[in-house]
Amino acid sequence: MDLFIISGGSRGFGEALTKLALDQDHGVIAISRYEIQNTSSNLAFYSISHDLSDFTGLTEKLEKTLHLFETHHPFDLQSVHLINNAALIEPVGPLVNLEPEAIQKSIRVNLESPILLTQFFLQHFNHFEGWKTVTNISSGAAFRPIPSWELYCSTKAGLKMFSENLDLDLMDQKAKVISFSPGIMDTSMQKHIRSLSPSQFPRVVDFQKMKEEHQLRNPQTVASCLLQLLSLPEQIGKVVYDVQEFD
């Protein structure tokens, strides 16, 4: 059994990862604002309700949940995985129109919380003898600017650089860091993007067209690519991965 800690497990890609990991008989601790009901027969599932725009109190909730997990599932864990998946596309629009609070929330959820969760994970599992992996969910937006997406692009670019830098600094021979771009997936984030007005997001028509032309990836298919990669940590040979490499 492996253990997965997944942020944003309630919807979209995070939900697909959570369900697939449970189907593969792994343990999952999922974090999102809203409590997640376990619909699987696998009971090694714990939902933590927490708003990642404020990290206060999360480490205590995680310690408590990890203790519960270890008490109820005292098996030898092969590997432990952190998947920093939760992210916000908002705020979208010309910078001068954005609320300062929305700007701060984007930076906290998309960049600060993955860094703090990673620090917690590496400290908690410092003496763990199996494999440890940290996956930060990236995006094409980490590589190129997109009009009106200043916050999303810059936080994703920051997260990608954090992944590459962490990899340089990790001394643990049995730890791997990945920055994984999942491609454009059919999730509520895409639905929200398609609902934006052209004045907020000039490229909205391109995203509406991609949906009409069935170009969006199925999150379940992308989840199986990532879990396949994480199932063999010793074969992970680099930091930056793109789902296209699995086509």
Ligand X SMILES: NC(=O)c1ccc[n+]([C@@H]2O[C@H](COP(=O)([O-])OP(=O)(O)OC[C@H]3O[C@@H](n4cnc5c(N)ncnc54)[C@H](OP(=O)(O)O)[C@@H]3O)[C@@H](O)[C@H]2O)c1
Residue with tokens 């492996």: 2
The residue from 11, 124, 174, 194 that contacts ligand X (CB under 6 A) is 11
- Tell whether the torsion through CA atoms of 217, 229, 239 and 46 is positive or negative: positive
Listed residue (229, 168, 231, 206) closest to 26, CA to CA = 231
Q: How far is the CB of 105 from ligand X (least distance, A)?
A: 7
Phi then psi for residue 239, to 5 deg, are: -100, -50
Which residues neighbour 232 within 8 Å (Cβ) at sequence distance 6 or greater?
none
34 is an active site residue: no
- x-or-dash pattern for ligand X, window 137-166, by CB under 6 A? x-x---------------------------
| x-or-dash string of contact with ligand X, 86-105, rule CB under 6 A | xxx-----------------
185 binding ligand X? (CB under 6 A): yes
Candidates 28-36, 63-71, 125-133, 237-245 — which segment interacts with ligand X by CB under 6 A? 28-36
Residue ranges in 10-129 assigned as alpha helix (H): 12-23, 58-72, 100-107, 113-124
**How far is it, in rounded angstroms, from Cα 197 to Cα 165?**
37
* Near ligand X by CB under 6 A: residue from 34, 57, 97, 172: 34
Q: Does 184 bind ligand X (CB under 6 A)?
A: yes
Q: Determine if 14 is a binding residue for ligand X (CB under 6 A).
A: yes
Write down the number of H helices and E strands in the chain.
8, 7
Q: Which is nearer to ligand X, 51 or 150 (CB)?
A: 51
Q: Is 189 in the site for ligand X (CB under 6 A)?
A: yes
SS (H, E, C) 35-61: CCCCCCCCCCEEEEECCCCCCCCHHHH
Of the residues 3, 4, 5, 12, which one makes contact with ligand X according to CB under 6 A:
12
Alpha helices in the chain (DSSP H): 12-23, 58-72, 100-107, 113-124, 150-169, 188-194, 204-212, 219-230
Choice from 2, 51, 112, 150 touching ligand X (CB under 6 A): 51
Nearest residue (CB) to ligand X, 82 versus 184: 184
Interface ranges with ligand X (CB under 6 A): 8-14, 32-34, 51-53, 85-88, 109, 137, 139, 182, 184-185, 187-190
